[in-house]
């Protein structure tokens, strides 16, 4: 029994769990304490670099049934050459049909808009010519229109992928980004995303937040999280000046790109990373790098990886428009809890990174739910349905197996 997330009434489960591990603090969930609105969880497709997803893989990635990832956001590249614009349309169209928001990021402008300059020890670094800002805005607008004509309405478009880590693409200084946003971004026909720093370098995004004219033309402050320590996840300046804007994490793989995505318990790091991204950073979207890869959410054979299973605990159950609500984030050492409210349910995701099972009590304040269902991923199971049980005065207790992630959904 200790290996299963047994759902029981509060009194009996507490008694069963105390012999296995020290009793943790009750995890209180307050549906009335609203935090950020969730836009979704997603991944990147890039047919030119790794090949397109197959029809079956698209359905696995963006479907929400058993064995599916449940992604609700797709990121595309903006190819610099118009002849390449159709490469990712099939996946984008299917993702949109399944309800996903689609956005796009450019790596390079068209070649005739670029000039070389000296950047550190490099004499051939690339940047957008300053007299081409208007033409570049039209290029982005044309790509947006091309997709719209092919059945995909972009949720947003980025100015530049990783402008501060552009050894193999186009550099932008913070000042150049601000100038483009002030003078040209207002003409773009969809939401504007910037600056997509490679590791949440605030000195790249601060100037945007500090410039009212630039900020007025940005809809989403986007960033990547490569190597970013959790202590740098909070963003006080965004809280101060980002009213009406969204905050997205638009690219990451974690913890590395060299290990198999099925390595356990390393894959559990993904669940913890997602927890911190939602709770500490308060991101509204979390987007993985390649959807299908040896280190990705889908294995190369198109089946769910262990990393993908950890993502699915959020993506399948926390849908666009849900709101993160206050919950006891760490009711026990190395136990992480976050909670979300939909129109008729509360979703709680609990990650136990300890080597022992934890008997964890959950209490929903002012809750009216009468039952709760759960899904489990551990060393031998992937998002496996564990059954349904009742709540007692808004509380339930679950055995969280060692090194596991469990999603609970109330009804």
Binned at pLDDT 50, 70 and 90, residue 308 comes out as: very high
Give SS3 for 15.
helix
CA angle centred on 55, ends 49 and 58, rounded to 5°: 70
Write out pLDDT tens, residues 239-276: 999 999 999 999 999 999 999 999 999 999 999 999 99
Tell me the β-bridge partners of 341: 323, 346
Q: How far is CA 52 from CA 121, 149, 158, 291, 380, in A?
A: 36, 20, 21, 10, 30
* pLDDT value of residue 18: 35
Give SS3 for 343.
coil
Over residues 395-410, mean pLDDT: 97
* pLDDT value of residue 9: 36
Residue 14 makes CB contacts below 8 A (sequence gap 6+) with: 23, 359, 361, 397
Is the pLDDT score of 95 beyond 80? yes
* pLDDT value of residue 179: 98
Is the pLDDT score of 10 beyond 50? no
- 162 has catalytic annotation: yes
Tokens representing 388?
A: 């349904």
Over residues 183-192, mean pLDDT: 98
User: What whole-number percentage of the chain has pLDDT above 90?
Assistant: 93
* pLDDT value of residue 12: 32
Is the pLDDT score of 14 beyond 90? no
* pLDDT value of residue 23: 64
What secondary structure does DSSP assign to 173-190, as a single string? Answer: -HHHHHHHHHHTGGG-SS
* pLDDT value of residue 155: 98
Tokens representing 8?
A: 């029981």
Choice among 80, 162, 196, 246 that is catalytic: 162
Choice among 80, 196, 246, 251 that is catalytic: 251
* pLDDT value of residue 368: 82
Give SS3 for 217.
coil
Is the pLDDT score of 11 beyond 90? no
Tokens representing 284?
A: 């509204």
Average of per-residue pLDDT values in the chain = 94
227 φ/ψ sector (left φ>0, alpha ψ -120 to 50, else beta):
left
Tell me the β-bridge partners of 249: 223, 286
Is the pLDDT score of 15 beyond 50? no
Over residues 123-144, mean pLDDT: 98
Is the pLDDT score of 20 beyond 60? no
Write out pLDDT tens, residues 28-87: 999 999 999 999 999 999 999 999 999 999 999 999 999 999 999 999 999 999 999 999
Could you say which DSSP state residue 23 is in? -
- 183 has catalytic annotation: no
Is the pLDDT score of 13 beyond 50? no
Better-scored residue on pLDDT, 179 or 367:
179
Is the pLDDT score of 210 beyond 70? yes
Token pair 């069963």: residue: 16
Tell me the β-bridge partners of 104: 76, 157
What secondary structure does DSSP assign to 353-380, as a single string? Answer: -SSS-EEEEEEETT----EEEEEEESSS
Over residues 297-308, mean pLDDT: 97
């Amino acid at each position: 029994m200790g290996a299963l997330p047994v759902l029981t009434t509060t009194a009996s489960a507490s008694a069963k769990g105390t012999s296995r591990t020290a009793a943790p603090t009750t995890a209180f969930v307050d549906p009335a304490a609203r935090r950020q609105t969730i836009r979704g969880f997603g991944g990147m497709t890039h047919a030119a670099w790794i090949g397109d997803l197959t029809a079956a893989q698209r359905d696995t990635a963006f479907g929400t049934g058993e064995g599916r990832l449940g992604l609700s956001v797709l990121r595309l590249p903006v190819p610099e050459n118009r002849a390449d614009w159709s490469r990712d349309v099939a996946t984008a169209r299917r993702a949109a049909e399944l309800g996903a928001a689609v956005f796009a990021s450019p790596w390079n402008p068209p070649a005739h808009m670029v000039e070389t300059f000296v950047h550190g020890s490099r004499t051939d670094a690339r940047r957008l010519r300053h007299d081409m800002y208007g033409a570049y805005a039209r290029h982005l607008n044309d790509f947006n229109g091309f997709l719209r004509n092919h059945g995909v309405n972009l949720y947003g478009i980025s100015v530049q992928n990783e402008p501060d880590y552009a050894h193999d693409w186009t550099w932008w200084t913070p000042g150049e980004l601000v100038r483009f946003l002030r003078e040209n971004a207002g003409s773009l026909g969809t939401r504007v995303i910037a600056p997509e720093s490679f590791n949440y370098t605030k000195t790249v995004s601060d100037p945007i937040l500090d410039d009212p004219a630039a900020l007025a033309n940005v809809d989403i402050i986007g960033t990547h999280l490569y190597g970013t320590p959790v202590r740098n996840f909070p963003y006080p300046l965004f809280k101060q000046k980002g009213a009406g804007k969204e905050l997205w994490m638009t690219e990451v793989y974690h913890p590395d790109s060299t290990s198999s995505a099925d390595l356990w318990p390393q894959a559990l790091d993904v669940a913890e990373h997602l927890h911190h991204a939602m709770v500490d950073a308060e991101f509204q979207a979390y987007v993985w790098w390649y959807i299908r890869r040896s280190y990705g959410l889908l294995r190369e054979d198109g089946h769910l990886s262990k990393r993908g299973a950890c993502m699915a605990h959020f993506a399948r159950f926390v849908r666009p428009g849900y709101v993160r609500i206050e919950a006891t984030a760490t009711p026990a050492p190395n136990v992480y809890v976050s909670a979300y409210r939909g129109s008729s349910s509360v979703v709680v995701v609990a990650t136990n990174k300890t080597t022992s099972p934890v008997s964890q009590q959950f209490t929903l304040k002012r809750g009216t739910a009468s039952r709760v269902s759960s899904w489990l991923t551990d060393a031998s199971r992937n998002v496996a349905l564990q059954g349904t049980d009742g709540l007692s005065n808004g509380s339930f207790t679950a055995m969280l197996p060692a090194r596991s992630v469990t999603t609970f959904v109330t009804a």
